[in-house]
C-alpha cells in the first residue's frame, strides 16, 4: 500500500494514485511533478480543458474511452509538460499551473456533460474534482474507472471507433482487438455468475469453511469486479490479515480468525451444537462472503424475517465491509449480492405488523437481485433499498417498509 500523500504507479489498479479519489490532495500532484512521472497507461496530463470545437470534444471522448477500455486512469487538467527541441510534447510533467477560469464548478459540469455525449455505451463511475493552490487556479482531476460494461466506442461526429491504452498512450483497436474486448467483457460476467452459483451450492451442501448451525441462513457477497479479472488480480492476503480486527460477522458476536486456502477467515466463536452462528471469508483479491445462521433462527416457531433487526444488521455489516475494502485500496465497482436459504414459508414482518399478515416466501432459497456500488461516495440504504424491496415483494408485500424511496431509514 502506498503511504498517505505519496504517488505511486500501480500496474494492478486503474489509477496511478494508490489512494481513494476523495483523498487525493495537492501534495500528490506536487509529487508527480517532482518525480517527473511521465504519461503512461494510467495517467495523462492536459495543459488546458477541452474547448468547444468538435475536434477537442472528440479528443476528450477518446481519452475517456481509452482509459475505460483498458485499466482506468487519471487525467490531470492544468499540468504543462516538457517540450523537446522541436517543440513537441514529451508527456513528462513540467509544472502544475492550474486552470484559469471564473467558474470552476461550471467547467466541471461541462466535462460531465461531455461524458454523456459521443460515447457508447456511456462510461459510468467517472469522478471529477478541483484541487486548489496552484499559480493560475485549481488542477482538475478526472478519474476514469476501468469499465466492466464495455468495450466503449467514440461516436461523436465520427465513424464509431474503439480506443484502448498502452504505456505509449491511446490507440485505436483493430477488428481482432475489438472482438477480444467483447469476449473479455462477457467472460467476466460469466465468472461472476459462476462464482455466485458455486458458492450458493456449496453453502446449501454445508461445504463451508466452518460448520454452521442448522438454521436458515443469510448470505451476503461484497465482490469487487476486479476479483474476476484474470489479468489484474492482486493477492491482498497479508493486508487483509493485518486489518482482520475490522471484520464483523452479521451476527456481531465474539469471533476468531485464521488464514485459509481462500484468504482470511473470521468466524463466530460460539453457536449451537451443530455449528457456529456465522463467518466472514475474505478472499485473496479482496472480495467478501459473509454467512449468518443467527438472525433468521426461528427460535419461536414464528417463521418470520424480523425485518428491522435483519436490515439494520445487514446495513451495518455492508458498511463495514465496504469501508474495509476502501481501506485496502480496492476500487469500485463492487457487486453486492444477497440470498436467503431455508426460508420457504417465512414471512417478512414489518414494523408494528402482525406476523401472519404476509403470504411468505414460496421457495426455500431466495436469490435477490444484485446491486452495484460505483465510486467512493455511497449510501448503504440507497444501495440496499432495491434489494430489500424485492425481498419484501417475494414475501407478498409491495415494497420495503423500513427505508423510504431515497434509502433513508424510517423503521423503528
Residue whose cell numbers read 486456502 = 261
| 173 or 297, higher pLDDT | 297
| CB neighbours of residue 314 within 10 Å | 23
pLDDT at 129 over 60: yes
Least trusted range by pLDDT, from 174-178, 357-361, 390-394: 174-178
CA distance 297 to 340: 12
Cell numbers at residue 18, please?
494508490
Closest CA to 305 of 215, 403, 204: 215
Backbone angles phi, psi at 319, to 5 degrees: -60, -40
Cell numbers at residue 269, please?
466463536
pLDDT at 324 over 70: yes
**pTM of the full structure:** 0.68
Model confidence over 39-85: pLDDT tens digits? 777 888 988 898 888 888 888 888 888 888 877 888 999 998 888 77
Model confidence over 256-288: pLDDT tens digits? 889 999 999 999 877 777 889 999 999 998 999
Do residues 141 and 75 lie in contact, with contact meaning Cβ atoms separated by under 8 Å? yes
Based on the number of CB atoms within 10 Å of its own CB, is 168 exposed (0-12), middle (13-18) or buried (19 or more)?
exposed
Do residues 297 and 392 lie in contact, with contact meaning Cβ atoms separated by under 8 Å? no
Closest CA to 22 of 125, 129, 140: 129
Looking at residue 358, what is its pLDDT?
A: 65
Looking at residue 4, what is its pLDDT?
A: 31
Exposure letters 27-47 (e unless 16+ CB within 10 A, then b): ebbbebbeeebbbbbbbbbbe
CA-based end-to-end distance of the chain: 41
Contacts of 225 (CB under 8 A, 6+ apart): 148, 188, 192, 333, 334, 335
Amino acid at each position: 500500500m502506498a503511504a498517505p500523500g505519496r504517488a505511486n504507479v500501480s500496474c494492478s489498479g486503474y489509477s496511478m494514485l494508490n489512494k481513494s479519489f476523495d483523498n487525493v490532495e495537492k501534495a500528490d500532484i506536487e509529487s508527480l511533478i517532482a518525480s517527473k512521472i511521465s504519461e503512461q497507461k494510467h495517467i495523462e496530463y492536459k495543459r488546458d480543458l477541452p474547448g468547444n470545437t468538435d475536434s477537442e470534444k472528440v479528443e476528450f471522448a477518446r481519452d475517456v474511452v481509452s482509459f475505460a477500455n483498458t485499466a482506468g486512469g487519471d487525467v490531470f487538467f492544468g499540468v504543462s509538460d516538457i517540450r523537446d527541441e522541436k517543440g513537441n510534447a514529451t508527456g513528462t510533467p513540467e509544472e502544475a499551473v492550474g486552470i484559469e477560469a471564473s467558474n470552476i464548478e461550471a467547467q466541471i459540469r461541462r466535462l460531465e456533460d461531455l461524458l454523456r455525449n459521443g460515447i457508447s455505451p456511456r462510461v459510468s463511475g467517472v469522478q471529477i474534482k478541483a484541487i486548489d493552490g496552484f499559480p493560475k487556479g485549481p488542477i482538475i482531476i478526472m478519474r476514469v474507472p476501468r469499465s466492466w460494461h464495455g468495450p466503449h466506442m467514440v461516436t461523436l461526429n465520427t465513424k464509431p471507433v474503439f480506443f484502448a491504452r498502452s504505456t505509449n498512450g491511446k490507440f485505436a483497436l483493430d477488428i481482432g482487438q475489438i472482438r477480444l474486448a467483447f469476449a473479455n467483457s462477457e467472460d467476466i460476467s460469466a465468472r461472476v455468475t459462476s462464482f455466485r452459483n458455486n458458492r450458493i451450492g456449496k453453502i446449501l451442501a454445508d461445504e463451508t469453511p466452518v460448520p454452521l448451525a442448522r438454521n436458515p441462513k443469510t448470505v451476503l457477497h461484497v465482490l469487487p469486479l476486479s476479483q474476476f479479472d484474470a489479468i489484474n488480480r492482486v493477492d491482498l492476503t497479508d493486508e487483509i490479515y493485518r486489518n482482520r480486527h475490522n471484520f464483523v460477522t452479521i451476527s456481531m458476536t465474539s469471533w476468531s480468525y485464521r488464514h485459509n486456502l481462500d484468504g482470511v477467515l473470521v468466524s463466530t466463536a460460539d453457536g449451537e451444537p451443530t455449528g457456529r452462528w456465522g463467518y466472514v471469508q475474505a478472499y485473496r483479491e479482496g472480495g467478501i462472503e459473509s454467512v449468518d445462521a443467527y438472525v433468521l433462527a426461528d427460535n419461536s416457531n414464528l417463521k418470520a424475517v424480523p425485518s428491522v433487526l435483519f436490515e439494520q444488521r445487514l446495513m451495518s455489516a455492508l458498511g463495514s465491509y465496504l469501508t474495509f475494502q476502501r481501506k485496502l485500496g480496492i476500487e469500485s465497482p463492487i457487486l453486492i449480492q444477497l440470498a436467503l436459504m431455508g426460508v420457504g414459508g417465512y414471512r417478512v414482518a414489518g414494523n408494528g405488523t402482525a406476523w401472519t399478515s404476509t403470504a411468505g416466501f414460496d421457495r426455500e432459497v431466495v436469490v435477490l437481485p444484485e446491486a452495484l456500488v460505483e465510486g467512493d461516495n455511497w449510501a448503504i440504504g440507497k444501495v440496499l433499498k432495491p434489494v430489500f424491496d424485492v425481498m419484501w415483494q417475494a414475501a407478498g408485500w409491495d415494497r420495503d417498509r423500513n427505508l423510504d424511496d431515497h434509502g433513508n431509514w424510517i423503521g423503528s
